Structure 1
Amino acid sequence: MKINKIINLFMASLVLILVACEPNVDEQHLKNTTDVAGVELVATQSTEGGNEITLNMVTPGITGYWDYGLGKALTNKVTFIYPIPGTSTFTYTGTLGSEFFTKTIDVQVDQLDHSLDQDWYDLVGTDTAAGKTWVFDGGPDPDGRQWWFMSAPGSTDNAWSLWWNAGGDCCPPSDAAGKMHFDLDGAANYTHYADASSSTSESGSFVLDVDNQKLIISGAKLLGADAGNADGVYSIVSLTEDKMVLYLSNSETYGTGWTFVFVPE
């Protein structure tokens, strides 16, 4: 009997200890601070109709980022020089508190009164609406030159480390005699031509990421994309008025690096 009492006291004490150790949980649920209509986006231009644009999300309590076509800014406010005349749409993506949203704002650019980064003029020419056409720096038949070749993977530093001179030695790409055209006529337009006669073309768009030295092709393939990647993202090794060298650190076709060398038509 005495033992039973001791056991009962022990069990009661254990229950009290467990209850005392039970954590106090203050459940907090995320709540929206406003709705999408309440998110205010503001666009200003340093000159009327000019191409220096500032985008600002001014609603308190909202966080997110801007996608302004040339890149993304992980802030609520960004200022940039825009290269394309006409009406452009910019997108803000953020959170209301408990859910994500996207909202857009349109900006009309009537004049390119602020100079672009030199890379833009090198790629599309000084007449940005007319644009510029590029072809391979060699070929279209094997000619011993280095214009489309396998290189070491991993870094643009390896772009000229020739592993196999595919285009120059034996095996040019299917569009070796083709060309590609870049222009800013109302949008960042890209056109791929499979051959010099321009009988076969494919239209898309492009992004020139100057800060990260990337050229991104969408909706059409890069010249020589037999060795390209599906995402269309190429590293810029060099870009001048007279030559453009692009590089893949890991070609999906070959599993190696790959280098593309172009010159103006």
Structure 2
Amino acid sequence: MKINKIIGLCGSTLLLLFSACQPIDDREVLENTTDIDGVKLVATQATEGGNLVELSMETPGITGYWDYNLGKALTDKVEFVYPIPGTSTFTYTGTLGGEFFSKTIDVQIDELDHPLDQDWYDLVSEETSEGKTWVFAGGPAADGGKWWYMSPPDDPSQWETAWWNAAGDCCPPVDAAGKMHFDLDGAANYTYYSKPGATPQEGSFVLDVANQTLQVNGQNILGAEQGNPEGLYTIISLTEDELILYLSNNAGGTGWTWVFKPE
């Protein structure tokens, strides 16, 4: 009798242990609350064809962010003054619940009826479609000035410190006599000239006023031989008469500083 009880008790214990070792497979499966066609994007302009734009995503249950070309807004609604006439495409990226998606909306801007941030005018001039040309603030031969030089890395506050005054002392960049042109003629256009009379090389740019950065896409800036494949620069100074850019970590592992002036 006692043996039967012991065997029964051991069997129950083994059953409990076996059950406890079994994985609990109670997974929650994420499901879409709608499809891409069900995501409603709305663009509103303060005036017809004007450049004060509000973008909103109006579908409940959707989360994501707006990429409005000048930056990203981690909200469903964003308002901004857009600097570029013509048709512009803005993108909302988010999740439907079970999968990610991107959807775009086009906005036609016919008139810059709201003033831009002053940095835009300083970079491309008041005549935004015509644009503005920048050159090195020195050279093109070595002249003792500080306009293209090695700086301490990873610290924009040290931009003025010259570990090696390359252009001033001995070794200007190969395109020291070149120029760069920025304009907003239908897009944020960037054109690079390696020297006077050189064939223009076209790219684009993004001026991030809030974070004080300049992104150049598709082409180099003057003196980019120090290496910056991402094309992103910290703006140290941007005024009507001066553009100073800093790179925190170039291909050689140091910082680098560029000083430009209008042509």
Q: Distance in 1 between matches of 2:2 and 2:170?
A: 98
Q: Which residue of 1 aligns with 2:6?
A: 6
- Aligned CA RMSD, in angstroms, stands at 1.8
Q: Distance in 2 between matches of 1:216 and 1:134?
A: 16
Q: Which residue of 1 aligns with 2:85?
A: 85
Q: Distance in 2 between matches of 1:30 and 1:5?
A: 48
* Structure 1 residues 163 and 208, CA gap change in structure 2 (3 angstroms): same
Q: Distance in 1 between matches of 2:227 and 2:192?
A: 14
Q: Which residue of 1 aligns with 2:61?
A: 61
Q: Which residue of 1 aligns with 2:200?
A: 201
**Identical counterparts, % of pairs:** 66
Please list the CA deviations of residues 154-181 of structure 1 after superposition, one character each: whole Å capped at 9, or x if unmatched. 1210101110001111111111110000
Q: Distance in 2 between matches of 1:181 and 1:105?
A: 29
Task: Report the Cα offset of residue 48 of structure 1.
Answer: 1.1
The residue type equivalent to 1:9 in the other structure is L
Unpaired stretches in structure 1, ≥5 consecutive residues: none
Q: Distance in 1 between matches of 2:67 and 2:20?
A: 52
Q: Distance in 2 between matches of 1:39 and 1:219?
A: 33
The residue type equivalent to 2:79 in the other structure is T
Q: Distance in 1 between matches of 2:17 and 2:138?
A: 83
Task: Report the Cα offset of residue 26 of structure 1.
Answer: 3.2
Q: Distance in 1 between matches of 2:59 and 2:5?
A: 66
Report SS of the residue matched to 1:162. Answer: coil
Unpaired stretches in structure 2, ≥5 consecutive residues: none
Asked if 1:145 corresponds to 2:145, the answer is yes
Range that drifts further, 19-28 or 144-153: 19-28
Asked if 1:124 corresponds to 2:129, the answer is no
Structure-2-length-normalised TM-score:
0.95
Q: Distance in 2 between matches of 1:200 and 1:134?
A: 16
Task: Report the Cα offset of residue 250 of structure 1.
Answer: 0.3
Q: Which residue of 2 aligns with 1:161?
A: 161
Aligned length: 263
Q: Distance in 2 between matches of 1:163 and 1:21?
A: 64
Q: Distance in 1 between matches of 2:254 and 2:13?
A: 69
The residue type equivalent to 1:208 in the other structure is L
Q: Distance in 1 between matches of 2:94 and 2:13?
A: 52
